[in-house]
Amino acid sequence: MTQSDVWLPIPTGAYWFWLIPFVFGVIFSWRYRRDKVRLSNGLWFSLFFYSFLAMLAVTIFGTNNHPLIIVCGTIFIGFILFLAVLFFLQAFLLLWNAWIMWRHESHTLANMLTLILGIAILVLPFVASAVGNRVPQPVNTFMTIFPNLVILYVVFWFYNYLTMLVIYQFNRPRLRQDYIIVLGAGLLNGDEVSPLLAQRIMRGLKFYQKQQRRTGHPAVMIFSGGQGGDETVPEGQAMLNYAISQGLPAKDGWAETKSTTTLENMRFSKALIDQGQVKAPRTIFVTNNYHTFRAGMFAKQAGLTADGIGARTARFFLPDAIIREYIAIFMKHKWWHAAATVALLILSVAVVLLDLYNGQL
């Protein structure tokens, strides 16, 4: 048996199948250019990405290049093993992250999401097994099917959200912006800019300085944030003062001091922009990287045409923050998800009834 008997070259007509990832890629690119904060864009990117990988594998196998096939196969198997290890260790990785969060952050519910999720992953299988042994078989079947379908649904949309969050990080706005909105966060001791907030300010200021240096195009930085109950000055004013201390000319900085939510950040900043003298202003906003995608949703809701750029966040803070962002986006469409959950419930009951009808339970 010759090598060609084992590794058959790919048929010439099969190359037409490359049109599949190409079409999916074009659809994703077109949709993403029109609206960067649509979650459904993630579906089209996944269709493009996985069809591309499938065609790449078929093409590599069709080359008859034995060393290339071995190298690519080894890389693929290694990647699958890496994902398997992450899957089996996910609960312990979450608990490890929760321990770091406990040491570095306040002990609020919002900062304990990885702890809750890690414990749930470890405990729920034992609870389900214990309860399942004490209920009738049809109920046990339902308790197996319905929760797993719901978990699969939630994980599916989480993966979709994570895909779009990662893609959104590659935003590279042109250096011709008229306004740079920096979103506020809580102050320390009532009037001090926190390290997290300082990251946002400096990210925006670096963009401002880079634009001035390369193009000379003037831009105004808008620092957006109202005054909380435990704060002695509005966040916007404290942010502006900090930026001036870091080299921002006072004439190029505005403070928006009424907003209390991200949506109000966008609305009130847009109101200031609309009062300006620039026609068809070009605008970007700055927040932390984990918050960019949801902030972009609020910008769209406020009627503000603006892409976001993200400031770096401490790595240990990211898992909890990303989960928190996903929950907020998930709840934003709670009625759609509620309808999907009801559909999964009906499907689960239908499966149980069908098994009962066929005498399998």
Poorest-pLDDT segment among 47-56, 121-130, 173-182, 352-361: 352-361
- What is the CATH superfamily name and number for domain 179-313? HUPs (3.40.50.620)
pLDDT for residue 228 is more than 50: yes
Region 211-238: what's the mean pLDDT? 92
Please give the pLDDT value at position 11. 55
User: Sorting pLDDT into bands at 50, 70 and 90, what band is 360?
Assistant: low
d(CA 110, CA 104): 14
* Greater pLDDT, 37 or 88: 37
Q: In this predicted model, what pLDDT tens digit does every residue of 117-126 receive, in sequence order? A: 889 888 888 8
Residue 97: exposed, middle, or buried by beta-carbon count in 10 A (0-12, 13-18, 19+)?
buried
Q: In this predicted model, what pLDDT tens digit does every residue of 182-204 receive, in sequence order? A: 999 888 888 889 888 999 999 99
d(CA 2, CA 5): 5
Spatial neighbors of 233 by CB under 8 A, at least 6 apart, are 187, 190, 191, 227
Please give the pLDDT value at position 8. 47
pLDDT for residue 4 is more than 70: no
Angle at 279 between CA 276 and CA 284, to 5 degrees: 75
Are 264 and 258 spatial neighbours (Cβ–Cβ below 8 Å)?
Answer: yes
Please give the pLDDT value at position 2. 47
pLDDT for residue 240 is more than 70: yes
Residue 335 identity (one-letter amino acid): W
Please give the biggest Cα pair distance in the chain.
Answer: 83
* Greater pLDDT, 280 or 13: 280
In the chain, the percentage of residues whose pLDDT exceeds 70 is 95
User: Sorting pLDDT into bands at 50, 70 and 90, what band is 3?
Assistant: very low
User: Sorting pLDDT into bands at 50, 70 and 90, what band is 12?
Assistant: low
Mean pLDDT score of the chain: 89
Tokens 């000379």, residue?
Answer: 216
pLDDT for residue 9 is more than 60: no
Pick left, alpha or beta for residue 303 (phi over 0 → left; psi -120 to 50 → alpha; otherwise beta): left
User: Sorting pLDDT into bands at 50, 70 and 90, what band is 110?
Assistant: confident
Spatial neighbors of 101 by CB under 8 A, at least 6 apart, are 111, 112, 114, 115, 316, 317, 320
Q: Label each residue of 66-83 as H, E or C.
A: HHHHHHHHHHHHHHHHHH
Helix (H, G, I), strand (E, B) or coil at 171: coil
pLDDT for residue 1 is more than 80: no
Q: In angstroms, what is the C-alpha Rg of the chain? A: 26
Residue 319 identity (one-letter amino acid): P
User: Sorting pLDDT into bands at 50, 70 and 90, what band is 10?
Assistant: low
User: Sorting pLDDT into bands at 50, 70 and 90, what band is 341?
Assistant: very high
